[in-house]
Amino acid sequence: MAGLAMLDEGAAGVARRLSVDSLAAEIVDALEAVGVRALLIKGPAVASWLYAPGDRPYSDVDLMVAGGDLARAHRVLVERGFAPVVSDDGVPVPSLDPTAGLWEELGWHAIQYHRADGMPGWVDLHRTLWMTPATVWDVLSDRTDRLHVGGRELEVPVLAGRALIVAVHALEHRVTNPDLPLAAKALEDLRRAVAVADLDLWRETAGIAARVGAEIQLAGALRLVSGGQELAARLGLPVGGAADTATRALLVMRISRYERLALTTDLRARVRLVVRALFPSRDLIRSRYPRARKGRIGLAMAYASWLSFVIRRVPSGLRAWHRARIGIQAASSPSPTAGQ
């Protein structure tokens, strides 16, 4: 009986991967039909590099598009029955277009879309990687490989680009949900990448990270696996406590409204930032508070909750931002062993 159960589980896994591959081909075809170029950045792109066939499960499609193509990509997904999932309750909101300002307002790197009918029904639409600037698309799309997925050739980043994606993904899950199975899978991806990729490939990866301002993320990720610390040192990245400090500081800086204010010199622009922080768009409020989707009273109550939340966090936010600035400035200089 145990053997039959294992066979059933294995068959289910194969069927799931084939369905995901078919969905990836379907969505890329639809995107190309409206002139949108997409990169497949996870799933088969990672499994085909680091695992034996069938050894790595995946259940959704991760695609990256240029920032200017997000609106068209959103429309393509909606036309195929998908709706964005923008709140913690996991409920899709068909009426919401997150590309109409909300995406930028929240600083999201990706949005998950769900299609209720059919399996699989999940697509993650990326404009960048976690805590990295939008220039990631420009660099990853500059040099690509082709991978046979779902009956057609799909574009994927070169191996050095995939190594950066694996590293950032592992760090993201370590920070945001370390106890979930996805975190363990992301960490295993990184462990394998460190084990199988040679120094030349990691040097290329470090070069990509430097071009997109993600050296600290790469350093923080490499600390998570055996051999990663030594590799980071050879690549000239921050190591030890400096890597931890710099990683934590960067995470604060990337999401801090105070940093945006500090970098904005125009008075009117600063006022707009403050007003938007206190009174964000209705789409943002609806994405955070399900009750805001239930009429004017619910929306007003949600705005009151948001305003109270923001005001309470001002002192701690300012302190965190100040410490982060100091941490970034104190980040370790390149290791003397870099490149050896």
Residue 88 CA to residue 27 CA, distance in Å, equals: 25
Distance of CA 219 to the CA centre of its chain: 17
**HSE (CB half, 13 Å, CA atoms) of 305?**
14
Distance of CA 276 to the CA centre of its chain: 24
Look at residue 198 in the predicted model and tell me its pLDDT: 97
pTM of the model: 0.78
The first and second tokens of residue 120, run together, are: 């699989």
Q: With the CA atoms of 182, 188, 192 and 193 taken in that order, what torsion angle do they form, in degrees rounded to the nearest 10?
A: 50
Confidence check: pLDDT of 105 > 50: yes
Backbone angles phi, psi at 94, to 5 degrees: -60, -30
Whether residues 221 and 252 share a domain: the answer is no
Element (H, E) at 67: none
CATH number of the domain where residue 49 is located: 3.30.460
* Interval 278-295: pLDDT, tens: 888 787 787 778 888 888
Asked if 117 and 110 touch (Cβ cutoff 8 Å), the reply is no
CA distances in angstroms from 285 to 99, 100, 102, 130, 302, listed in the order given: 15, 14, 10, 22, 7
Residue 5 lies in a domain: no
Whether residues 48 and 107 share a domain: the answer is yes
Whether residues 107 and 174 share a domain: the answer is no
Look at residue 1 in the predicted model and tell me its pLDDT: 53
Burial class (CB in 10 A: 0-12, 13-18, 19+), 244: middle
Residue 209 CA to residue 70 CA, distance in Å, equals: 23
* Interval 44-74: pLDDT, tens: 999 999 999 989 999 899 999 999 999 999 9
Whether residues 290 and 189 share a domain: the answer is no
Among 219, 237, 255, the domain boundary falls at: 237
Among 215, 237, 259, the domain boundary falls at: 237
Residue 192 CA to residue 195 CA, distance in Å, equals: 5
Confidence check: pLDDT of 340 > 60: no
Among 129, 157, 185, the domain boundary falls at: 157
* Interval 110-147: pLDDT, tens: 999 999 876 668 999 999 998 888 789 999 999 999 99
For residue 33, give the nearest of 67, 61, 73 by alpha carbon. 73
Whether residues 199 and 102 share a domain: the answer is no
Q: Which stretches within the chain are classed as H helix?
A: 2-33, 44-50, 70-79, 102-106, 135-140, 159-176, 181-196, 199-211, 215-222, 228-234, 240-255, 257-263, 267-278, 282-288, 296-312, 314-329
Range of the domain at 178: 163-237
Average pLDDT over residues 171-191: 88
Look at residue 291 in the predicted model and tell me its pLDDT: 85
Average pLDDT score, the chain: 83
Q: How many domains does the chain have?
A: 3
Whether residues 33 and 152 share a domain: the answer is yes
Element (H, E) at 39: strand 39-40
For helices 314-329 and 240-255, give the axis angle rounded to 10 degrees. 130
